[in-house]
Structure formats: structure tokens, C-alpha cells
Amino acid sequence: MNEKIIALQNEITEKLNSVTDLAQLDQIRVAYLGKKGSITALLKGMKDLSVEEKKTFGAEVNALKELATEKIDEKLTELKEKEIQQEIASMPLIDVTSPAFTDRGSYHPITLVQRQCEAIFKSMGFTVEDYPEVVTDYECFEALNIPKHHPARDMQDTYYLDNGQLLKTHTSAAQNAILKKYGKNLMENGVPIKAIFPGRCFRNEATDACHENTFFQMEGIMVDKAINISNLIYFMKSMLSEVFQKDIKVRLRPGFFPFVEPGFELDISCLICGGEGCPSCKHSGWLELCPCGMIHPNVLSEGGIDPEEYIGFAFGLGLTRLAMMKYGVKDIRNLNSGSLKALSQFTDDE
Amino acid sequence: MFLSMNWIQDFVDLSGLDKLELIAKLSLSTAEVENEIFFKGSDISGVVVAEIKSVENHPESKKLHLLKVDAGDGKLTDVVCGAPNVRVGMKTAFAKVGAKLGEIEIAPRPLAGFESFGMCCSEAEIGISDDHSGIMDITENVAAGTDIKDVYAIDDIIFEVDNKSLTNRPDLWSHYGFAREFAALANRPLKPLELEDLTAYDNLKKIDMKIEDNLCQRYSCMQVENITRSVSPVNMRIRLFYCGMRGINFLADLTNYLMLEVGQPMHAFDSRKVEKIRIKRFDTPFTFQTLDGVERNIDENTLMICNGNTPVAIAGIMGGLDSEIVDDTTTLTLESATFDAVSIRKSTVRLAHRTDASIRYEKCLDPEMTTLAIARFINLLKKYDSGVQVVSSLTDEYAFKYDTVSLSFNKAYVDRYTGIEISNDTIVKTLTDLGFKVELKEDDFTVTVPSWRATKDVTIKADIIEEITRIYGYDNFDVSTTLAPLYPVRAEVMKTNENKLKDLLVKKYNLHELHSYIWAYTDELKALGIEVEDNVKLLNATNPNIETIRKSIIPTQLCQVKVNTGFGSDFGIFEIGKVVDGLKEDGLCNEQKKLCITLFSKTKDIKTLYLELRDILSVAAGDIKHKELAFKAASADKAYIHPINFNEIYIDSTLIGSMGIAHPSVLKKIDKKANVVFAEIDMSAFTEAESASIVYDEPSKFPAMTYDISVEVPDGMLFAQLKSCWENEGKEILKSTRIVDTYDTDEVHSITVRFEFSSSERTLAGTEIQEIMDKVISNLKEIGVNLR
């Protein structure tokens, strides 16, 4: 073999052995295999040789070229792998146990409970209504069959305004408007009235851990040709089981409210003890939750709906109480306190 | 109200039935029973009748006596006793060794040097009254050794009914009323009351009595004399005590007993003081001393019982001190009357004095009851004081009679309400048990309501449904869903917007939703130096701090921010709540729903914070309305708003709200080192403002081209002015502009704007872009903006 070729081969091998990075490798590639590289130069120098010599020498140079290319590629792969390894090694260990940035906004707990209730009723085809907080005596009492001299209308229980209106004492104050809004569609097209109305209510009373002058209720009414007590129990049980995400036992007791007849107090099995009896249900196994009943014929009439033909139920769920039960809020005053310490804890809860 | 099972069983035989189960059933069918049931006498045992055989004074103690008692066990027992009323021959209640009195177990024990083998007991010690002045003096003819519980009805089950659950049931303010319910629930007959036949006295003189006011519905009275008994029978006193009443004297106790038994309040006058009974109101106010010794102010609306012109009692509420039964009373006039319920309630509110009588009258008592109560009273009076003589005939004026209520309905009506099958037989039985008269022809019912349910309680046929279903038991109902056609439900747009806004503010901007009150927080605002804006007021606020309804939520949130300054260096709060902006033309409140947002920061400069708020609002409008907001500088109209940088916010030409910065004087009181900005958006205006649809722009297949220009912006120039220089140029192909760089020194404010051009139809030529940009640059020059 040509001495020059042997020398060159040794030289390449030697240089490749000492290569440490891709830049050096590239220099080598250029130095030997480039247009002006040493191997390329050997080929160029062949013009002076005989045909026979050309044949032999050419084959040898080509072999060298192949070998050099192979060696350089090998080295390239090796160096690339080395570089990845270095990159891997250079990755710092990240302390995921360090404090996370968890700054989140919050919903008012009433919003969360209200949304859950709304979602359940929407899924059963109820509309969600929106009505004012300042109402007339007619809406709050008169239209609800609450006679002029009923204690509920006393000054000491209701916030009256100096223009003669009042802050609604219960969400039932929207019943008349709902009946009037949907009555036509019921009577002309046979579309049942199915509506809920979550809203803020006001009672003129001193506040303490269990009493607030400002609180939320959710009214629900359903009116059609054939609605009965059995249906009422079904809807209340389904709704409450959904709200609390467990099978809730309900029971009805007679309760007197002028706008329903018959009227009921609805109790649910205690959420803490499941009915065994514990301090939170005063050892009765039951919690009083929701007044309800069949809409009084006078209330239907006042809403322009013939009670001989139509019938319905109504209920008034205490959203504030529900929120307190659900989240274990012990002091009702926290809800309107505006205190972020208390209220920023209620991030989403769907 | 407390009820005694013994008493109830005077009128219905409940033997062999589980009383607790019955009480639970009552709670589900009639009225709410409180959880705690009292088993009276259950903690008393080993107490017997004993006769005191000898009494010796204790050698050293003035109070103590050394007794030998015969407890019926064939020997005399030594007892040391401290009661003052001991005497030889007296029979008393004796707790033998081993007896239990509540927590105490009686054991032999030394007392002041002498062994005592038992204890003589007062009524208080065995729990039948609060009298502990001395040991019991048993006058009944019973042998020593008899268990005290065989002498007196000490064992009893007492339960309490929530008065609130009886507001519509005047008939249930008595044991007899509850006995009727138990009879229906237990399917046992109700016994009639034992009554005196009052017609026997018809030929006696009438009492001079006259109703002179229509607030009195019925007044019945009768006179009796020769009453010798002063202390009530023990069993009567036990029942009264168990039901929460104190024993007073025989006559007073008996009127109370009647009230608890039949529900009719009664009053006993000394006949010498009421010779000429007149029931009326007075034109002029005066003061009147009631039998509790309190002077009360009587006005022209309060109905009074009078002797001629002299008031002797406040009708339905309380008797007067002057006409009360006293020690030398020999003849009494018994009043049993009904009055207008509303008038009684109003009087109790005015007098701030509710009594057991007025509580009952407020519920519309049945006037039929007045004579029945007298007949029962006389019956009991004669039973316990045999020498009593009736000296007048029943004197009765029945001025107002309720109509008889008769209701007709059919089986289908009942089925329609219940949704379950309740048989005709069950309906008839239930209503009959409750005192209704029922006629049934095929499936048609005609029901006559008993007088005690007909004063206001049962007036329409739906009321009958309640009677049938509650006794049937709601627990026995099959539960089923409705069968109704389905229709699409349309959501209220404002509700939907509220929910979207809440989600955006909480999820994207980490704001906190708070609730507040509808009134202005006067005290808290004062602390911030903010005046409460004049507005609609509460007429009867117990607390002047909450008197005025708020016009804006911003002041409320400034108060809330102050409360929370320690919460963090940066936070934002929001509320969607109500305000009242004065009155509308029709005189009704102009109630509005507002979204109010307040941002607080100790780390951000005012510009950053204010623009952050601007961005929140812009994103909200973009998300929900697909619209851009327009801001218009306005003059701050409130003292708590900084006069500079107050902006009105528009969607198109609709004003939807405003945003501003807290006034320095307020800010100083919140936190000197913080910045506070706020915005208030009217939810109706926001909802009603026109919204756009999403306009989709298909990405072009042809390359887009950009063109950057850097300009120096003169002081005070708004970006909106710059924008006006290009927003009308090359509209078809100018797709967007954005600021890609800003460069500020003390002297210059410079920005680099990148214009992006593209067409969906062709590749754009450099020349056409240059043409547009030349126009833009010349527009800019015209308003004094030069390229850098």
C-alpha cells in the first residue's frame, strides 16, 4: 500500500482519537474529506500515474475515503450521544416539594350551592328565574294569601321602606310573577310551569351565630294539570339526594304556611349520623330543612290560574342553611362578613 | 306547650299502646313535638306514706326535730327532720332507706349526732311542685306504707309541642284537642267531657252584662258562692306543675286547669267588684294596673272588661288587680268569652305583654267553647268543693257567630291531590274521628266542619285534603315522578352572563366573590370619611347603621377592602349585587343589579393596576359580548373617587358602567401604601348592549407580510388617536396591528407598531403595502407624530 495512504490513515485515526467535540470533528471532516482536504488532494494527484497505478492507487484512496467517512460518522454518533448524556447530566434536580403557587380566586359558598341546585333543576326542565329584592306588599303577602293581620306582616319582622315597599321576606314573593309570566303558556299550550328562583331575603331580626337579617332561599314551583303530593315528595327527595350526593331520606310533617294547602315541613335524615341521632340533629335523627306544600288555590287564582283545573307544588329551600350544612359553616355571620380569611377558601366545587 | 299523657288519657284510652310511638306519630301528623320527652316520676322510687308518731326537739338545734315515723312496715323508724311543719299524727311522703330521689339514694346517715333512717320529703323533693317550705301534708285517707305513686299521679309522660306549629289550630291549645288527635291516630274512641247541666240553673237571676263593642264575639258568665276550698287537689297541682304552671290557689288553678284542658281562657272576678259587666273600649288613654301589679298604658284600641265604667280587666289578656279574687271573696263571677283575634294580638303587641290567654285568643278560638268551659268548670268545682252553690243562671251574649262551614268534593279531587289511592271508607273514618260530619253519596262527599276548626282553619276543600293525608301519614305515600310533556327551557340571558362573569373573574383573574348587605354601612363608611348618599330608607331598622339603602356597591367594597388589608399584598374582590338608585316615576324603587370589582395592590403601581382592571373588563366584554369596550374620560361624581382617571365604559353607544381610582383621602384610611381601583357595571345595560357573533376569518394560503414602524408619541396623546390614523386604511388587507416594542426615556415615549397584511386571494405586492403605510405615516404626521 502506498506509504502516503498508510500515513494518512494513521494520522486520521490518531486525530479522531483525540477529538472531544463536534466542532473539532467537523474540522477533521473538512481537513480530510472536504474539497480541499488531504484525501481529496490524493485523488487529484493521481493524474501523473500510469493507468495501472491509477487503478491500484485509486482503489486504495477510495478505501481510505470510505474508512475515514465511516470513522468520522462513528465518532459523530459517539459525540452526539455524549452530548445528550451531558445534557441529561446537566439537568438540575427540581424540588417539587417546595411551596406551590396556588393563588386562586374564590366563589361565595352561596354561589356554589346555588349552582348545584340550579343544575339539578335545570336537568329536570326547570327555568331559573331572577326577581327583585325590593318588592311590594302585594307580591310578598297579599298575592300569597297572607291576610292583612298575619303576624308575618308585622313591622318587627319585615324591613319596610319609606316609599311603602319592603325587602322581600321570602322568595315566595316571586310566585305571583312566575305564575303570571308562564300562566298563558300553561293554559294555551299546555306547557307546565316549572321554575326555581334563588334569591336574597331579609328579616328584621338581631343577628347572632345562627340568625342573619340577610340570607338566601330558593323557591321552586311546578304547576300543571296533574301534580300531587306524591310528586312533591319525589322531587324533594331527588333534589336533596343530588345536592348531598347520597341517598337522603325525607319525611313530611304538617306545617302551616298561608300560601300552601296542605303545607309541610320537610325533614331530611341527619347528614352527620344518618338518622341514628347525634348532637347536630339534637338526637332526633332528622334535620328540618324546607317548608313546602301544594300551592294554595287562592295563590293560583291570584296568579290568573284556575285552581279547579290546575294544581301545583311549591317549596322554599334555605340556600344559606344548605351552604352552612354542606361546608360546616358554624357562624352564619361569616357569609356576609366580607372576610377573605373565611371566604377565600371556597374555590370551585362542582 | 307542655302536654301530659295522663291528662290526655282522661279522654282517650291508650292502654296497651306504645306512648312514645304515638307521640312520634303525632309529630308527623299533627304538630311538631320537641325531642326531649320527660318521664316524670321515673327517677322517684321507694317513697311511701308514713305517719309521724312522735316529735322531739333536737337537743342542740332549733331547726331539727327527732321523729319516729310509721312507714307501714310494723316498726317505728327514727328520722331527723328539718322541716318546720312536722306534727304528731301528720301523714307525709317518706323516702325509706334505699329510696331514690333523682340522683340521691337514701341511706342511713348520722345527722347532728343522731342516726336518721330515711327522709321526710317536700313536694319539691319528689318533683311534683316547687314547694319546699315544708314536708308534704297528706290529707288523703291512705294507710301508712302505701307507695306515694299509688296515692298521686306522679308517673307521667310529658312532651312539649312547638307553639309555632299550632298557629293555625285554635283547637290544639288544650289537652282535649290533642286527645282528639290521639284518638284519630290510635283508632280509639274519644270520650266526652263530663259537664254540669247548666240548664238546671235557668230560673236563677241573670248577671247584669252587656257587650258594647263588636270586638267581643261572645261573653258567657255565671256566679257561684260558698267556695271553701283554697288549695287545689294534689293531682291537679301536679298536672299544672308538669305543664309548666305554678299553683296559686284553688280558683286560679281551676281556671288555668280549664284553659289547659279545653283551651278556653277563663277569669274569676270577685263578684263585689263586677256587678255591672260592660265590654267596651275607651276614647281616651289611661293607665290600668293588672293583677301582676304592673301599671299598663291602655289606649283607645284596647278592649276592656268593665264594671259599669270602671275597667276591671284587659279583655283576653289579663285581669286587674282590684277585681282579683282575695281571701274574703265569697262570690265569684266566672268569665268565659271570645274576642276578636286580631284585636287581641295587636293589643298584646302594644302592651308588650303576651299571656297564656292572649296566645290562645290570637288563634281565633271557637266561641262555642265558652259555655262548654263553664259547664266543665262547674262540674270540677263541685267535684272538689261540694258545698259550692251556683247563684246565677248562665248569662250569655253571643254577638258574633261564625258561619257553619260545609264543603263538597269528590273522590277524584282527593286522588288528584294525593296521587295515591285512599279509600272512601278511610276518608270517612278519618274525618269523622276528627269531628267532621261526613255524608257520602257514591263518590261525592259533603263535609260539615266542626265549630272548633271552622273559625279560620278549615275553610276550603283543599284544607280537607290536609286532614285526610296527615292522618293517613305522609310516610305511607308511594313516591312517584310526574308525567308531563317536555319543552325546551330557555335560560335567562342575564343569569347566564352572571355565571360567565363569575367564572371569568374567579378562574382567570383569581378574584374573590364576596356578599354584602343592601344597605350602606354608615359607621364603616364614616371611618373612611365617606358620606352616605341620601336614598330610600328602612322605616324600622333596629340599628341606625343600616338605615339607608345603598346606591352603589363601591363604598361597600371599599369597606370590605379595609377589613382585608391584612389578607395579602394584592387581591381583588367582586360582587354581583343589588343597589337602589332612588325611586322611579311610579314611586317604586329603582332597583339595579351591579357587578362591582375592586382591586387592591401594594406591589403594583397605579398605572399597572388600573390597566389590569381595564383588561379584566375588556376580556369580559370580548368573551361574553364579542365586543370591544370604549372608555370615555368623565368627571368623578363622588367624593370617594379620584378626580383624575375616572372613565365611563361603553359598549357601542350604551353606557354600561364606570371605573376609577380611590380618592387619596379614602386611600389614606384604607392603606397609605396601597393602590385601590374599582369598576361598577350595570348588569342590565351590559346584558342589553348589542353583542356580536364570532366572525371567522379563514387563514390565508398566501403569505402574510408585516411592516413595522417606530414613532415618537407626544405627551398626552392617547393611543386611540394613533389608532385613528390607520384604522380606516387598507381595510381589506390590514389584518392586525400590535405594539411590539416600547422605548421610554425622560424625553421621549416611543413605540414600535407591527402591521400585518394578508389577503385570502393573492400574494400581496410590496408596493401596495408601501402605499398604505405611506398614507398611515402621513396621517400620523398630521397629528404631530413622527417616525423615529
How close does chain A come to B103, measured CA to CA in Å? 23
**Are B627 and B553 in the same domain?**
yes
Q: Is A239 domain-assigned? A: yes
**Are B515 and B563 in the same domain?**
yes
Q: Would you call B541 and A122 a contact, using CB atoms and an 8 Å cutoff? A: no
CB-nearest to A128 from B342, B486, B495 is B495
Q: Nearest-CA neighbor of B3 among B251, B179, B131?
A: B179
Q: What is the mean pLDDT of residues A308-326?
A: 93
Among chain B residues, the shortest Cα distance to A350 is held by B503
Band the pLDDT of B615: cuts 50, 70, 90. very high
Q: Is B423 domain-assigned? A: yes
Residue A335 contacts residue A200 (beta carbons within 8 Å)? no
Q: What residues contact B178, with CB distance under 8 A and at least 6 apart?
A: B3, B8, B26, B30, B161, B172
CB-nearest to A155 from B507, B513, B540 is B540
Q: What confidence score (pLDDT) does residue A156 get? A: 66
Q: What confidence score (pLDDT) does residue A152 get? A: 67
Q: Which of residues 171 through 190 in chain A touch B, CB cutoff 8 A? A: 190
Q: What is the pLDDT of residues B344-360, one digit of tens each?
A: 999 999 999 999 999 99
Q: Is B731 domain-assigned? A: yes
CB-nearest to B542 from A206, A227, A338 is A206
Q: What is the mean pLDDT of residues A147-158?
A: 75
Q: What confidence score (pLDDT) does residue B661 get? A: 97
**Are A166 and A308 in the same domain?**
yes
**Are A59 and A132 in the same domain?**
no
Q: Which domain holds residue B61?
A: 44-154
DSSP one-letter code for B491: P
Q: Which of residues 64 through 83 in chain A touch B, CB cutoff 8 A? A: none
Q: Is B297 helix (H, G, I), strand (E, B) or coil?
A: strand
**Are A50 and A143 in the same domain?**
no
**Are A196 and A156 in the same domain?**
yes
All three cell numbers of B179: 286527645
Among chain B residues, the shortest Cα distance to A251 is held by B475
Q: Is A99 domain-assigned? A: no
Distance between CA B286 and CA A327 in Å, rounded?
Answer: 55
**Are A172 and A216 in the same domain?**
yes
Among chain A residues, the shortest Cα distance to B487 is held by A191
Q: Is B487 domain-assigned? A: no
Number of H helices, E strands in chain A: 11, 9
**What is the domain count for chain B?**
6
Q: What is the pLDDT of residues B376-387, one digit of tens each?
A: 999 999 999 999
CB-nearest to B482 from A105, A227, A338 is A227
**Are B218 and B136 in the same domain?**
no
**Are B336 and B221 in the same domain?**
yes
All three cell numbers of B497: 352572563
CB-based contact (8 Å) between A226 and chain B? yes
Q: Would you call A262 and B540 a contact, using CB atoms and an 8 Å cutoff? A: no
Q: Is A120 helix (H, G, I), strand (E, B) or coil?
A: helix
Q: What confidence score (pLDDT) does residue B490 get? A: 84
**Are A338 and A199 in the same domain?**
yes
The answer to which of A57-71, A189-203, B131-145 has the lowest mean pLDDT is A57-71
Distance between CA B397 and CA B404 in Å, rounded?
Answer: 19
CATH of the domain at A309: 3.30.930.10
Q: Which domain holds residue A46?
A: 3-90
**Are B745 and B621 in the same domain?**
no
Q: What confidence score (pLDDT) does residue B494 get? A: 93
CB-based contact (8 Å) between A164 and chain B? yes
Q: Is the pLDDT of residue A220 over 70?
A: yes
Q: Would you call A125 and B487 a contact, using CB atoms and an 8 Å cutoff? A: yes
Distance between CA B161 and CA B244 in Å, rounded?
Answer: 13
Q: What is the mean pLDDT of residues B667-673?
A: 93
CB-based contact (8 Å) between A301 and chain B? no
- In chain B, residues with a C-beta closer than 8 Å to the C-beta of A194 are 489
The DSSP line for B460-475 is: SHHHHHHHHHHHH-GG
CB-nearest to B479 from A161, A230, A255 is A230
Q: What confidence score (pLDDT) does residue B136 get? A: 95
CB-nearest to A106 from B31, B168, B506 is B506
Please give the share of chain B, as a percent, with pLDDT higher than 70: 100
Q: Is the pLDDT of residue A13 over 90?
A: no
Q: Would you call B462 and A192 a contact, using CB atoms and an 8 Å cutoff? A: no
CATH of the domain at B584: 3.30.930.10
Q: What is the mean pLDDT of residues B317-339?
A: 90
Q: What confidence score (pLDDT) does residue A350 get? A: 66
CB-nearest to A262 from B469, B481, B515 is B469
Q: Is A103 domain-assigned? A: no
CB-nearest to B539 from A162, A191, A238 is A162
Q: What confidence score (pLDDT) does residue B19 get? A: 97
Band the pLDDT of A1: cuts 50, 70, 90. low
Q: What confidence score (pLDDT) does residue A349 get? A: 80
Q: Is A95 domain-assigned? A: no
Please give the model's pTM, rounded to 2 decimal places. 0.86
Q: Is B430 domain-assigned? A: yes
Q: Is B698 domain-assigned? A: no
**Are B215 and B319 in the same domain?**
yes
How close does chain B come to A64, measured CA to CA in Å? 49
Between A247 and A307, the higher pLDDT residue: A307
Q: Is the pLDDT of residue A198 over 80?
A: yes
Distance between CA B702 and CA A11 in Å, rounded?
Answer: 54
**Are B251 and B297 in the same domain?**
yes
**Are A85 and A213 in the same domain?**
no
Q: Is B364 domain-assigned? A: yes
Between B749 and B42, the higher pLDDT residue: B42
**Are A274 and A162 in the same domain?**
yes
Q: What confidence score (pLDDT) does residue B674 get? A: 95
Q: Is the pLDDT of residue A150 over 80?
A: no
Q: Would you call A348 and B506 a contact, using CB atoms and an 8 Å cutoff? A: yes
Q: Is A26 domain-assigned? A: yes
Q: What confidence score (pLDDT) does residue A155 get? A: 61
All three cell numbers of B117: 333512717
Q: What is the ipTM of this complex?
A: 0.88
Q: Is B463 domain-assigned? A: yes
Q: What confidence score (pLDDT) does residue A326 get? A: 87
Torsion of CA B19, B21, B23, B25, to 10 degrees: -140
**Are A86 and A113 in the same domain?**
no
Q: What confidence score (pLDDT) does residue B414 get? A: 97
Q: Is A98 domain-assigned? A: no
CB-based contact (8 Å) between A151 and chain B? yes
Three-state secondary structure of A78-99? HHHHHHHHHHHHHCCCCCCCCC
Q: What is the pLDDT of residues A34-48, one digit of tens each?
A: 888 888 887 777 777
**Are A170 and A229 in the same domain?**
yes
Q: Would you call A338 and B35 a contact, using CB atoms and an 8 Å cutoff? A: no
Q: What is the pLDDT of residues B287-305, one digit of tens each?
A: 999 999 999 999 999 999 9
The answer to which of A254-263, B325-334, B503-512, B618-627 has the lowest mean pLDDT is B325-334
Please give the share of chain A, as a percent, with pLDDT higher than 90: 55
The DSSP line for B173-213 is: SSHHHHHHHHHHHHT-PBPPPP---GGGGTTSPPP-EEE-S
CB pairs under 8 A between A and B: 227
CB-nearest to A163 from B420, B470, B583 is B583
**Are B123 and B218 in the same domain?**
no
Q: Is A102 domain-assigned? A: no
Q: Would you call B475 and A251 a contact, using CB atoms and an 8 Å cutoff? A: yes
CB atoms under 10 Å from CB of B70, counted, come to 20
Q: Would you call B514 and A338 a contact, using CB atoms and an 8 Å cutoff? A: yes
**Are A122 and A65 in the same domain?**
no
- In chain B, residues with a C-beta closer than 8 Å to the C-beta of A261 are 460, 462-463, 465-466
- Side-chain-side CA neighbours of A57 within 13 Å: the count stands at 19
Q: Is A250 domain-assigned? A: yes
**Are B540 and B643 in the same domain?**
yes
**Are B534 and B462 in the same domain?**
no
Q: Is the pLDDT of residue B221 over 90?
A: yes
CB-based contact (8 Å) between A27 and chain B? no
**Are B579 and B652 in the same domain?**
yes
Q: Is the pLDDT of residue B451 over 70?
A: yes
Q: What confidence score (pLDDT) does residue B484 get? A: 79
Distance between CA B282 and CA A62 in Å, rounded?
Answer: 137
Distance between CA B426 and CA B433 in Å, rounded?
Answer: 10
Q: What is the pLDDT of residues B176-220, one digit of tens each?
A: 999 999 999 999 999 999 999 999 999 999 999 999 999 999 999
CATH of the domain at B413: 3.30.56.10
All three cell numbers of B717: 396623546
Supply the mean pLDDT for chain A. 90
Q: What is the pLDDT of residues B566-592, one digit of tens each?
A: 999 999 999 999 999 999 999 999 999
Q: Would you call A283 and B35 a contact, using CB atoms and an 8 Å cutoff? A: yes
Please give the share of chain B, as a percent, with pLDDT higher than 90: 88
**Are A81 and A121 in the same domain?**
no
DSSP-assigned beta bridge partners for residue B267? B335
**Are B249 and B179 in the same domain?**
no
Q: What is the pLDDT of residues A255-287, one digit of tens each?
A: 999 999 999 999 998 887 888 888 878 888 888
- Side-chain-side CA neighbours of B432 within 13 Å: the count stands at 13
Q: What confidence score (pLDDT) does residue B302 get? A: 96
CB-based contact (8 Å) between A40 and chain B? no
Q: Is B481 domain-assigned? A: no
Q: What confidence score (pLDDT) does residue A34 get? A: 85
CATH of the domain at B135: 2.40.50.140
Residue B132 contacts residue B125 (beta carbons within 8 Å)? yes
DSSP-assigned beta bridge partners for residue B624? none
Distance between CA B123 and CA B107 in Å, rounded?
Answer: 20
Q: Would you call B470 and A262 a contact, using CB atoms and an 8 Å cutoff? A: yes
Q: Among residues A25, A58, A90, which one ends one of the domains?
A: A90
Q: What is the pLDDT of residues B31-88, one digit of tens each?
A: 999 989 999 999 999 999 999 999 999 988 889 999 999 999 999 999 999 999 999 9
CB-based contact (8 Å) between A132 and chain B? yes
The answer to which of A57-71, B597-611, B752-766 has the lowest mean pLDDT is A57-71
**What is the domain count for chain A?**
2
